[in-house]
Structure 1
Amino acid sequence: MSKDLILKSMLSEKICMTPHGFVADQLTPQQFADCCDLIFDKILEISSTDIAGVGGYGQFNEDCKTEYATCREFLIDTFTEDKDGYWYNWREMFETTLLERQFFESYFKEMEDRIQFCEGKRFLVNNNTFFINMITDGKTMVGFPDWSRSGICDFLLDFAIMDLNKPYLKIPELFFEYCKKRNIVIQDYKERFLCMAYYKGIDTLRWHASIDDTESCKSIMKSIGELKDRINAI
């Protein structure tokens, strides 16, 4: 059975893989504010998927299996140098691209120090919740057609990706208020959000540096650098 079919069998009928509407990237800030609860509902619906038959952490392979036994192994191994393929010997980028060694190492350490708060938090994640990958009608429907990066991790990863994409929309702040209104308690919310955000942030930064995307690198570094103050102010 293909990964898409396995995922379809796992997901609730409330999660649409073939949505109709427009790309969520087209939402204005006001339109997003009007429908953010709907988007948050659907991401939490993903995280409520029964994964009792799926072990480990990390991105799914074609058989919907994960590679790592722990969250720490997954996050740390993402940045090893000896993997075959695109990221082989990637640390050479510190000398040849926009990627700054001190910045990367600083936020890698920030991520590593917080992994303990995410360990044991196992949920299905879409892991590609950039606004360009979500379809909505802005009122009653939000769907996720791209599951190529899906896997098992702390569900706050999906919210951290949204914030990395559009930090001016204040995703962690809005989601915190959303949870308060619904009496949803997320243990160690701030530390877990920062861990997931730093993980995805430096990984995405590495990608944009590899293609010499100066504008995106500056934007990502600014977002990563400002996030802790934003989170602590909640």
Structure 2
Amino acid sequence: MNRDIFIRNLTKEKIKMSPTGRNANELSQEEFDSCYESFFNMIFEIASTDVSSLEGYGEFDENNKAPFKSLEEFIRSDMIDEPEDGYWKNWKQMFGTTFLKKDYYYEIAEKALKNVTFCEKQRFLVNNNTFFCNMIISDDGKTYCTDWGRAGIMDYLMDFAILDLNKPYLMIPEKLYEYAKKKNIKIENFKERFLCMAYYKGIVTLRWHASIDDLESCESIVRSINALEERMNKLV
């Protein structure tokens, strides 16, 4: 089944697949500060989808199945293993030949795995591609995701972690912490879960940018990763 049709059916057609409006990447910091709740509402709406009919964790495969038995198995496979074919075949050859440094890569991967137990059993639909260039703000102020190619089942904090990785100066976890208190949303083990999702997504995104020799993005991602735990410690 086509991915968009699958997502539309799964969400009872409450999510628009082809929204119209302004690209979220065009928002200034001031504009985002005035409308960030629309982004948060969107993520929680996605996470409210009933996924009890689905098994597993991880990104949906070509059959729209989440193929991993646990979240740890998923992120370990993505961060550590080398596939037999495809873009990431033999990716570890990048160590020493690109920006990607072996010791740093495994240090951050271990930090993600250290916290993954806090994310187990957090089974939610996630877009898993919530970079600002993939989102649209409609004329009525509602936010929509436009690309569901990496959607899957995992902790919904993944979608917030990607927002922060994309633009850390927008202070996503800080805003989310206050938003949750305001809305009486209890996010258990907030720090550990956010760090797990952020470290995992951060290090594999760093690997991607290193693979295309995007030095500027690599340096930005490393700064974001390195500053995150101190930021979280100030919240909880």
**1:197 pairs with 2:206:** no
**Larger CA deviation: 96-105 vs 176-185:** 96-105
Q: Cα distance 1:70–1:90, how it changes in 2: closer, same or farther (>3 A)? A: same
Whole-Å separation in 2 of the counterparts to 1:27 and 1:161: 17
Partner-residue secondary structure (3-state), 2:205 = helix
Aligned counterparts of 2:116 and 2:175: Cα–Cα separation in 1 = 23
- State the partner residue of 2:130: 129
Unaligned runs of 5+ in 1: none
Q: Where does residue 19 of structure 2 map in the other structure? A: 19
Tell me if the contact between 1:15 and 1:42 (Cα under 8 Å) persists in the aligned partners: no
TM-score of the aligned structures, taking structure 2 as reference length: 0.96
Write the deviation string for residues 120-179 of structure 1: whole angstroms up to 9, x where unpaired.
Answer: 100000000000000004752211121000011100000000000000000000011000
Structure 1 position 72, deviation (Å): 0.7
Match runs of 1:69-108 below 5 Å = 69-79=69-79, 80-108=81-109
Letter of the 2:27 counterpart: L
Q: Give the CA deviation at 1:13.
A: 4.5
- Measure the CA separation in 2 of the matches of 1:160 and 1:104: 18
Aligned length, in residue pairs: 234
Change (3 A) 1:34 1:225: same
Aligned residue type for 2:212:
I
Following superposition of structure 1 onto structure 2, how do residues 134-173 of structure 1 map, counting pairs within 5 Å? 134-137=135-138, 140-173=141-174
Which residue number corresponds to residue 9 of structure 2? Answer: 9
Q: CA distance change for structure 1 residues 55 and 97 in 2, over 3 Å: closer, same or farther?
A: same
Instruction: Provide the aligned C-alpha RMSD in A.
Output: 1.2
Corresponding residue for residue 207 of structure 2: 206
- One-letter amino acid of the counterpart of residue 91, structure 2: W
Counterpart in the other structure of 1:44: 44
Distance 1:220 1:49 in 2: 31
Further displaced range: 121-130 or 91-100: 91-100
- Say whether 1:68 aligns with 2:68: yes
Counterpart of 2:202, as a letter, is G
Q: How big is the shift at 1:63?
A: 2.3
- Are residue 112 (structure 1) and residue 110 (structure 2) matched? no
Contact 1:159 1:172 in 2 (8 A): yes
The percent identity for this pair of structures is 50
Distance in 1 (CA, whole Å) between partners of 2:195 and 2:38 is 23
Does structure 2 conserve the Cα–Cα contact (< 8 Å) formed by 1:156 and 1:192?
Answer: yes
3-state DSSP of counterpart to 2:20: coil
Distance 1:193 1:139 in 2: 30
> Which structure 2 segments of 5+ residues have no match?
none
- Give how far 1:82 is off: 4.0
**Contact 2:6-2:64 within 8 A present in 1 as well:** yes
Q: CA deviation at 1:51?
A: 0.6
1:225 counterpart = 2:210 = no
Please tell me the residue identity of whatever aligns with 1:152: I
Query: How far, CA to CA, are the matches of 1:4 and 1:170 in structure 2?
Result: 31
For 2:32 and 2:97, locate their aligned partners in 1 and report how far apart those are by CA, in whole Å: 39
> In the alignment, residue 26 of structure 1 is paired with which amino acid?
E
